[in-house]
Structure 1
Amino acid sequence: MTFPRRFAAGAAAVMVLMTAAPAAAAAPDPAPATGNGSWSVGPANRSGAPSARPHFAMEAPPGATVKDTVRVANLTDRPLVFQVYGADAYNTPRDAGFALRTAAEPRRDVGAWIRLPADRLTVPARTARDVPFTVAVPPNATPGEHIGGVVALNTAIESVQNAGNARVGLRRAVGARVYLRVAGPVSPGLRLETFAVDRNAPLVPFVRKGDGTLRVAVVNTGNLRLAPVAKIRATGLFGRVVKVWPDRRVPELLPGQRAEFALPWAGPPPLDAVTVRVELTAPGGVEVRAKERFVAVPWIALLGAVVAVFVLWSVLPRLIRRWRERAGLAAVVIVGAVLALVPGRPAPASASAAASVAAAEDPGVTSSPQEAPLGTLVRVRGSAWTPGATVQISLCGANAVHGSADCDTEHAVTAMVAPAGTFAAGLTAGAPPSPCPCVVRVTTLPGSPAAPAAVNARIAVPGHRTGPILKDITPVRADVVSAEVTGGGGWGELFGGRPRRTLVLQIRNAGAEPISGAPLVVGWGAGREADSPLDAPGTGTLPPGRTATYRVPVELPQASFGQFVVGGRYAGAVPFSTSFSTYPWGLLAVNAVALLLFVLGVRLSAGRWAARRRRGGARAAALPAGPAVDLAALDRFFGREPGG
């Protein structure tokens, strides 16, 4: 018997183990036909264009069915028998690589929606077979991307190896990726599951360098795949930059999947108050920020400092007293420390916040000629697209309101966007599955360095049937992209001045309708509740798919100390919250020094008073005794009886 197996789409080999432990292999980005040298699997492209589809990219609403064809090519000199099936995709735990589930594992997503005419396929030597298949989207399918693949597994065991007491049979499989996007509201999102700093401090600081490791775990909480970029920097006391790591690109995360990575840190500071900040950004305006604080203290050096203070406290006053006695000084006046609060910067005359909505030129598409009978070549050009992105071009019916379900995917072609944001490609006019009105539809392919986009250009197809269409309506929705408190850390705040911060709030309209005049309520608090109101700006109008940035000034009372929270609601239903801390260490240090000087003065004064007492007693003991007085003679002199 064989146990469950895991393999990556396009992997060179898959191991079928005789134990219960599964095996996984990571896959690179697929070529137009993904293969391992013996066979290949990919979309059946009938256009003959060199820019064939690298994988299946589909769009459909819930309840629709998308048809396409997969091509399995045998590159060997002998017939091969394959098990062909649909599979769900996931990210591998080891390196977050793209992988597909095995035939023995349950199918819960797009792998269960893929329908093939048969699960066994025999391909003669040096030939290829086209296998039609359908993707039946359930009526209750959630909006967003559903990713899987069509897999061809060689049924023959190609080799056997010994692993301890077990014999391991090796079988190989190849899969073509399937990217299905279900119509409806999209909400890209990331969450930092883990952000921690591990340090190994040396016993003797400033002589040997320590080391550390940053551990980051991120989860895709949205319904779109994302390839975030992590920017990490560490700052010390007063905002001094300690280290900046190179940008780290996280492998493409599928919805609901998790990735973890670690960054080494050579020589973290041995004595400092360090704040490590991480910022994750992804196409589509997704931003996540977090920070981790720690105080590095060299305990052995601190113990030495305590010993030194003790020595100074017990020995220094005696040395000063002896020196003063030998020099003949009368007294020493101890000058107390002068406490001066450095005033904070003056508050601005008027606190205002502005909302800015990112604006960019919309991508455009043109086709020539405007009327193309079936089988003719259509020249498609695009402008204002993201440079470096890969787009898919197809002819669709019903104005493509149901996505790929209305498109002729078998004649679709792809093109690369030039640095100027333009592209040009030739498309053979095929018969779309839906009636006209028809459009030339251009969409960005998965894996492109751009946010998902789709643009239609009207075209007439003489001879193709026409019919009515229905338009889907998606609800309005707003998401919090990020909420962060910035600013602060000046000299005035360090010595007890008013802490001044700025709340930077980013809201994204994830719906299909603009949001106008939504109320924004913001406050701050010293506990868990933001119960002290702040002046918030007007929100204006937020178009669909755009992100607005709102900046709200935050000002706290003088000498504020501890952790504070800033939060509120957008449009009455979208909550947000973040926190920050402020500590007037300079004010505390000045007071500690003043107290130390005062105690030292009292100690010296007490020592001088005790020394004077000792010297006064010694002088009184050294005086000579006076003459004796005869009391009886005095009585006789005054005529009194002795003893009277």
Structure 2
Amino acid sequence: MPVLHTLKRAGVLFLTAAALYAAPAHQAAADEPGWTAEPAAGTAAAAPGGARPYFYLAGTAGTVLEDRLALTNTTDTERTVTLRGADAYNTADGAFAVRSAEESVDAGSWIGFGAATTVKIPPRTRAVVPFTVTVPPASPPGDHPAAVVAAEGGHEVGVRVHLRVGGPTLAAVTVEDVSVRGKGAAAVIAYTLVNRGNVALAPELSITAGGTFGEVEGRGARTLPVELLPGQRARLTEPWPGAPVFDRVRLTLTVTAPGGARATAATSAWFVPWRLAGWLGGALVALGGTTAGALYLVRDRRRARQDPRADATPVPEPEHEPEHESEHELTGAAR
């Protein structure tokens, strides 16, 4: 377990000479062979056998915590490694990443190595470097993800630091922006998870689906391959091989996580084969043309029935004989 301490040992460096060969698989190795970085073994927080995959530290605001980093030089030449602390965050797809020294304003900036920020490691030697985490008095409770970063020659190794500040914790998550892409066995469900609480989450997802023609195969509950850090969001996709070929489906996504976090979100999607859609489109166009022609004929016949002149035989007007003056009758008094 981490312990409180004064800063008297902050700059002490321990070197252990040994014949070192291949590094254990759990160690965080550099991009190229030569040196490794990992939590030092031999503490109460270590797993059976002394190995630890990451640092775990816990304490209240205003305390100072300590732990030790082990740097191993597996080559025959001296290595010079630079150390720093860094804030951790989730990338857009949920991966774990660390910020630069300038961008680290939370737990990464609380990590200090004293005078040992630059370490020279002799050949075939393990260096054990103590470091401290000074938690500010006003630090909010919950998880503050960070990492210890070791660098040499452009290569960096980050060892995770799980830091929890004492106080009330809240596990909360939301599911947003659910959509469906693709069709058939290639269909995928896209969605966004947002950590609304103050502790890291290991979310579990289940999918249920119902169609117009009955229940549709969804996805059973499974743990997602992502650790969602406090205040972070991740855009994820889920394969959906049970998507129907032709149906209108309503999907419901349910996400849970330890600590009581639970959230649901739903969306609807149409699944129509392109060939069937083209055939239906052509059929509708043909049906529309036939219907329009029939309506035109009916309208023409109705018009003919309403106008009696349409069926009447034309009668020629009688011819008038020319008028003569002698046939006119003259009236009036004789003059």
Distance (whole Å) between structure 2 residues aligned to residue 115 and residue 184 of structure 1: 24
Partner of 2:35: 39
Matches of residues 152-171 of structure 1 in structure 2 within 5 Å?
152-154=150-152, 157=153, 171=154
Distance (whole Å) between structure 1 residues aligned to residue 147 and residue 180 of structure 2: 38
Partner of 2:316: none
1:73-97 Cα offsets, whole Å, 9 max, x none, are: 222111111111111112233x422
- 1:110 pairs, out of 107, 110, 128, with 107
Letter in 2 for 1:87: A
Partner of 2:191: 216
Q: 1:235 offset after TM fit, Å? A: 1.7
Which structure: larger Rg?
A: 2
Matches of residues 510-549 of structure 1 in structure 2 within 5 Å?
none
Letter in 1 for 2:206: K
Distance (whole Å) between structure 2 residues aligned to residue 281 and residue 39 of structure 1: 40
Matches of residues 371-382 of structure 1 in structure 2 within 5 Å?
none
1:548-573 Cα offsets, whole Å, 9 max, x none, are: xxxxxxxxxxxxxxxxxxxxxxxxxx
Partner of 2:97: 99
Partner of 2:132: 134
Q: 1:215 offset after TM fit, Å? A: 1.5
Higher relative contact order (CA 8 A, sep 6+): 2
More displaced stretch, 124-133 vs 139-148: 124-133
Partner of 2:22: none
Partner of 1:282: 257
Distance (whole Å) between structure 1 residues aligned to residue 142 and residue 69 of structure 2: 23
Distance (whole Å) between structure 2 residues aligned to residue 40 and residue 271 of structure 1: 54
1:167-216 Cα offsets, whole Å, 9 max, x none, are: xxxx222232211101111111112232112457xxxxxxxx79644211
Contact 2:54 2:159 in 1 (8 A): yes
1:353-375 Cα offsets, whole Å, 9 max, x none, are: xxxxxxxxxxxxxxxxxxxxxxx
1:310-339 Cα offsets, whole Å, 9 max, x none, are: 7479769x9xxxxxxxxxxxxxxxxxxxxx
Distance (whole Å) between structure 2 residues aligned to residue 90 and residue 245 of structure 1: 28
Q: Does 1:241 align with 2:224?
A: no
- 1:292 pairs, out of 260, 267, 271, with 267
Distance (whole Å) between structure 2 residues aligned to residue 110 and residue 223 of structure 1: 14
Aligned to 1:52, the other structure's residue is in SS state: coil
Give the direction of change, closer, same or farther, for the CA distance of 1:294–1:52 in structure 2 (3 Å limit): closer
Q: 1:107 offset after TM fit, Å? A: 1.3
1:227-254 Cα offsets, whole Å, 9 max, x none, are: 212222332116x123324646241111
Distance (whole Å) between structure 1 residues aligned to residue 70 and residue 98 of structure 2: 18
Matches of residues 228-377 of structure 1 in structure 2 within 5 Å?
228-237=203-212, 240-245=214-219, 247=222, 249-264=224-239, 269=244, 272-295=247-270, 298=277, 301=280, 304-305=283-284, 307-308=286-287, 311=290
Q: 1:221 offset after TM fit, Å? A: 1.9
1:372-427 Cα offsets, whole Å, 9 max, x none, are: xxxxxxxxxxxxxxxxxxxxxxxxxxxxxxxxxxxxxxxxxxxxxxxxxxxxxxxx
Contact 1:278 1:289 in 2 (8 A): yes
Q: 1:296 offset after TM fit, Å? A: 5.3
Aligned to 1:45, the other structure's residue is in SS state: coil
Partner of 1:148: 146
Letter in 1 for 2:179: A
Aligned to 2:145, the other structure's residue is in SS state: strand
Distance (whole Å) between structure 1 residues aligned to residue 251 and residue 49 of structure 2: 48
Distance (whole Å) between structure 2 residues aligned to residue 68 and residue 210 of structure 1: 49
Give the direction of change, closer, same or farther, for the CA distance of 1:117–1:230 in structure 2 (3 Å limit): same
Letter in 2 for 1:242: V
Matches of residues 560-599 of structure 1 in structure 2 within 5 Å?
none
Q: 1:116 offset after TM fit, Å? A: 1.0
Q: 1:126 offset after TM fit, Å? A: 1.3
Distance (whole Å) between structure 2 residues aligned to residue 210 and residue 178 of structure 1: 40
Letter in 2 for 1:281: T
Partner of 1:80: 79
Q: 1:102 offset after TM fit, Å? A: 3.5
Letter in 2 for 1:79: E
Contact 2:175 2:191 in 1 (8 A): yes
Contact 1:231 1:248 in 2 (8 A): no
Distance (whole Å) between structure 2 residues aligned to residue 310 and residue 106 of structure 1: 66
Contact 2:144 2:163 in 1 (8 A): yes
Distance (whole Å) between structure 1 residues aligned to residue 41 and residue 186 of structure 2: 54
Partner of 1:187: 170
Gaps of 5+ in 2: 1-24, 306-310, 312-335
Letter in 1 for 2:208: R
Partner of 2:326: none
Contact 1:229 1:282 in 2 (8 A): yes
Give the direction of change, closer, same or farther, for the CA distance of 1:120–1:96 in structure 2 (3 Å limit): same
Matches of residues 199-214 of structure 1 in structure 2 within 5 Å?
212-214=187-189
Partner of 1:196: 179
User: TM-score under structure 2 normalisation?
Assistant: 0.68
Q: 1:275 offset after TM fit, Å? A: 0.5
1:280-315 Cα offsets, whole Å, 9 max, x none, are: 122222221110024557476156247447747976
Q: Does 1:172 align with 2:155?
A: yes
Matches of residues 52-67 of structure 1 in structure 2 within 5 Å?
52-67=51-66
Identity %: 35
Q: 1:60 offset after TM fit, Å? A: 0.8
Letter in 2 for 1:241: E
Aligned to 1:99, the other structure's residue is in SS state: strand
